[in-house]
Amino acid sequence: MIDHHHRLVQRKVQFDYSDSPLHWIPGEAEASHVINVIHMMLPAGELWFCRLYNKALPFVKDARLRDDVQGFIRQEAMHSRAHSGALERYLSVHNIDSSKYLKVMDYLFEQLLSDTPFGYQLFNRRPWLQRWWIGQRCAIVAAVEHFTCVLGKWILEADALDRAKADPVLLDLFRWHGAEEVEHRNVAHDLHVHLGGSFVSRQLWMFVVWPLIVWLFAFGTRTIARQDPSLTKPRGFFAIWRDSAKRGLLPRISSVATSFLRYFKPWYHPDHEANTQEALDYLARSPAASRAARA
């Protein structure tokens, strides 16, 4: 673990989407849809993080790391709640049916990555296997959290979204979330190391996580775009990503690919991926986080 320590707190944010348009980046329907996929992708996954980490807690012997893990759980639970709210009070209001996408997410987390994959009860009957499976899934979280940190840093610094006059409510939602991803970026990696997880297992799971995340974004973008009456002929995901990134509305493909390669360095640690103070500075001026702090 790193030498300095920042205590993680839950910020009970709330958002009012009543004036937020589906194309929350004005004139940029496709880029809006790519980022809106997060509302469909994250609620189930982040609740799965919380359930998994609660099962990992009894194996955490370091008091500081235990506090970090508990703070991580509280923050991820709030992320899930916030994006579920956007799904119900924002995307659904704009007639976006996400049921097919949510079925995929439920299958992923309730079947493939559950405590008993495909109902295979041997995991419950063998404590050592149960412990091993917790460790493997913590390696998956570490890989995911690498990308959420990278994306969180990007959206904190994405001035193009301000110049495009993006909807302030949704921009605050994504930046609040991104700031907290930067804030707790070390926890998943440190937990996996503490549990005895190896460098090799983290690298192997990254080869699963990377294409899965890209596919989920592509599938989600297609799901939303096909229901958008303003898009008569929706384009492919990579074409959207490339063109939107040129305007600064999405992270550049090259920067995301470079971050993927950095994960394989033997000396990799997520602390070097971003700056905690940058995240805290935004959280201090975030409208939603400020309201939560006053409450």
pLDDT digits (tens, 9 = 90+) for 49-103: 999 999 999 999 999 999 999 999 999 999 999 999 999 999 999 999 999 999 9
Is pTM, for the whole model, over 0.85? yes
Q: Is residue 52 part of a domain?
A: yes
pLDDT of residue 270: 97
Whether 135 shows a pLDDT value over 90: the answer reads: yes
Residue 3 has pLDDT above 50, yes or no: no
Q: Give 110's contacts (C-beta < 8 A, 6+ positions apart).
A: 44
Categorize the per-residue pLDDT at 247 as very low, low, confident or very high, splitting at 50, 70 and 90.
very high
Q: Say what the pLDDT of residue 130 is.
A: 86
Q: Tell me how far apart the 2 most distant CA atoms of the chain are, in Å.
A: 57
Q: How large is the average pLDDT for residues 139-166?
A: 98
Confidence of residue 4 (pLDDT cuts 50, 70, 90): low
The boundaries of the domain holding residue 172 are 29-290
* Of residues 1 and 80, more confidently modeled: 80
Nearest 5°: phi and psi at 75?
-70, -45
Residue 22 in domain: no
Q: Is 111 part of any domain? A: yes
Six token digits for residue 51: 């359930």
Closest CA to 28 of 165, 151, 153: 165
State the pLDDT at residue 120. Answer: 64
Q: How many domains does the chain have?
A: 1
Summary mean pLDDT of the chain: 94
Q: Residue 127's pLDDT band (boundaries 50, 70, 90)?
A: confident
Amino acid identity at 34:
V
Q: Give phi and psi for 5, each to the nearest 5.
A: -140, 135
Residue 16 inside a domain? The answer is: no
As given in the structure block, the two tokens for residue 131 are: 């412990």
Is 93 a domain residue? yes
What distance in Å separates the CA atoms of residue 48 and residue 77, rounded to the nearest whole number?
9
Query: Among all chains, which residue has been given the structure tokens 């996408």?
Result: 101
**Residue 68 counted as domain residue:** yes
In a domain? residue 70:
yes
The three-state DSSP-derived secondary structure of the chain is: CCCCCCCCCCCCCCCCCCCCCCCCCCCCHHHHHHHHHHHHHHHHHHHHHHHHHHHHHHHCCCHHHHHHHHHHHHHHHHHHHHHHHHHHHHHCCCCCCCHHHHHHHHHHHHHHCCCCHHHCCHHHHCHHHHHHHHHHHHHHHHHHHHHHHHHHHHHHHCHHHHHCCCCHHHHHHHHHHHHHHHHCCCHHHHHHHHCCCCHHHHHHHHHHHHHHHHHHHHHHHHHHHCCCCCCCCCCCHHHHHHHHHHCCCCCCHHHHHHHHHHCCCCCCCHHHHCCHHHHHHHHHHCHHHHHHHHC
pLDDT value of residue 2 = 46
Looking up tokens 């659904």 gives 92
Cα dihedral 137, 82, 244, 287 in deg (nearest 10)? -130
Residue 295 belongs to a domain: no
pLDDT of residue 200: 95
